[in-house]
Structure 1
Amino acid sequence: MSRIDLNRGAGAASTATGPDDAKAASPAFSPSTNEETAPDEQLPGAVSIDGADLLNRVRDFASRFICFPSEAAGIAQVLWAAHTHLMDAWETTPRLAFLSAEPGSGKSLALRITALLSPLALEAANASTASLIRALDDPAGRPAFFIDEFDTKFGPKAKGDEELRCMLNAGHSADGFFLRNEKEKDSWHPVRRSAYAAVALAGIGNILPDTILTRSIVVKMRKRLPGQQVESYRRRDHKHLGEALRDELAAWADQVRDAAAKHRPILPDDISDRDADVWEPLFTVADFADGEWPALARQAAMETMQSGKANNKPSLGVQLLADIRACFGDKDRLPTADLLDKLLADEEAPWGDLKGKKLSPRILAEMLREYDIRPSSTRIADGKTPKGYMRGSFHDAWRRYLPPLETGATSATDATNQESLYKTGVSSVADKTVLLSCGGTAEAVAEPEG
């Protein structure tokens, strides 16, 4: 069966194909059924180190010390650490963000363990952007950055750091760069400098700027419940075990490097565009590891993305669209005054205090103009024609930016209930979360064979 046939049969999104040898090396995986079939040919070079066994031992090692919030989070952490050993094989590299609502949730430890498993790891807290940029030219090789206390840069009390944000955004892509003026003799010249680098972050709160968030795999760390136990990480006792695993990951990466660069993983239907940029390197790692990892990677991706969408707060503009849809109910037009009354009646909504100002006809019109929605004269029952909004003007924006209403939700009450679920992030994803037991296996986790 050809690669294209596999994509069609699994209901997967069509993907670009590489050279013939890469296509022959692609594992036959069905995202819709989580089933695996043996590839027609063995992956080139993957002979001396069992990738699946190696990733299993990496997962067990990390789980000894980290109480992950879900199995998907642990899978993503292992795959991300492995992908840092193949940076020259990727077009994009996802950011890995360990975030938590409160201190003491294990995010800094998760960052430290991930750094231990990665090559040329540079751990920093509250580092200046200039120092990170200079580190990109390290003669020993381009480092993988591990930035703790990221909330000091983008938290509620921070001023932000546009230069750092731009660097992290550009460095997501292998061809990302920034310009720097460098002096040559007596004149200055703009020079392109590569920004490409693996980056993991840790911080308190939902602190990621949107442009970084869309390039990230987010792991929401939580305090352990009573009865959830993990082993205390001690550098002097455990560092050598992590280093042994790191060296094995490097040796395994050398075996699959050339074929991995040509590999085009099969993507589930719901993963495309920026999400594909984030997950393709990790899928490739999983495909070359083989065993259960191709299925685990795709399941982890879907769960992580669904959880992220359920918990992410929409932008102010999207929240306005959602609230307006609830206000319309089954009406086909609303005068501006009536629409504002409905919006301002919700005391929990932000419309009564927008940086010290209440939502007004002018502010409403400015916000909606971003979505090509404009007020017009609307004829009402008494024959008057006040300024207002037609339902049809919102259809395109609602389809593009909001989830569809459930079939049969035509009343204002039904619509309001659904918009409330959307705004607060409540979903069946959270309801189905299974509490995991913490603590990995201590038996020969990181002891390399031979």
Structure 2
Amino acid sequence: MTSTTSSPRRAAAAAFIGTTIEFYDFYIYAFAAALVLGQLFFPSENPMLSTMAAFGSFAVGFIARPFAGMVFGHLGDRLGRKKMLLVTIVLMGLATTCIGLLPTYAQAGIWAPIGLVVLRLLQGISVGGEWGGAVLMASEHAPKGRKMFFASFAQWGSPAGLLLALIAFRCISEMEQDALMSWGWRIPFLMSGVLMMVGLAIRFGVPESPEFAEVKDSGQTSENPVLEVIRKDWKSILFAALAVTIGSGGFFFTNTFMITYVTQYQGIAKTTILDCLFVVTVLQFLSQPCSALLAERLGEGRFLKWVASLCILVPYPMFLLVQTGNLFYMTAGIALAVILLAALYAVIAGYMAEAFQARVRYSGISIAYQLGSGVSGGLTPLIGTFLAGHFAGQWWPLAIFFSGLALMSLIGVLGLAYLRGVNAKAVGLRLSQGVV
């Protein structure tokens, strides 16, 4: 028999620190793709083609995520959340460290980009399994009535990891160009090995999720949770995948594509946009827990509907401010968008988790999140780069694209709210009829 003592604060802290490390690894690849990987691994006379090739390798990691979500979701619902989180943090740390040791195209020819893509796939597999487990370890340890807020700690790791990645790249961006391109770019990747050991030490000390332990002790674990959740809850998976669209795609729009946009199409220095994004990320880091607390007071469903609606409108003032080229106005414009994205991102994890039963919850939220973020997050920088090149000098196609991502999230939130209402009525009817 499994015995698990709930430890809400410790579980929330472990979820936060673990996802911070995972997202640091993921974001440093995104920044490297925007700044150096195109030249080092995909050299071309056309800078746009090199950048698109680098973003293509970035997208590869997202392609792996839905499949990884299925595999780790199955194992997490069968064997436990904690075991999967130990595996994913080791896998991410090793893959990222090895990227920092890779020879470039000039040194190894075609084997260099092949090795980069393979390691990027491993990164994607790791994140595909990490997110669902971290959310559930925090929410399933949470006190009654606080699941949404505690689940937000796993989401809080995203801006924290981004801050670490921005600091790392801001430091190396001060290097001489030759030093940066020869060895400086490797430093942020090699730091991952140290962070991996920190994450492992913290996660070893957290007990298994009490909700999973209860399911396991009662013999109610699913024989095939992936097939079960797809068969019974495919509508919840679909709407949840739509709901996370702007939370993933929007961040990679503002934090990854925007670097390329302002440096290549507006002639703004790399250090300027990195400073801008650093301030924006600090504001995101501070605002996310406040958004989760506000959502608890207002009601998560109502809060998410309003935020998703505002996200449809926000790219237009954002681009008007970015077009000024002024650091203060650029920061204000991007911050306005990111704070709204962060508000949705902070709350959506716990809202999604409530849509699935504990016996299939790891599988359900992992498939939904990785499907939604895999498509939107992986393709957004590529589509943005294409639109910026095709409509050179015009920002409105990019704003419309951003609004489309937000509209998909609004549809997903409305769909989840509808299903929750239907399920609540069904439960109430069974209770009134004396059916357990």
TM-score range, shorter chain: under 0.3
Quick check: which has more Rg, 1 or 2? 1
Larger helix proportion of the pair: 2
Q: TM-score, normalised by structure 1?
A: 0.26
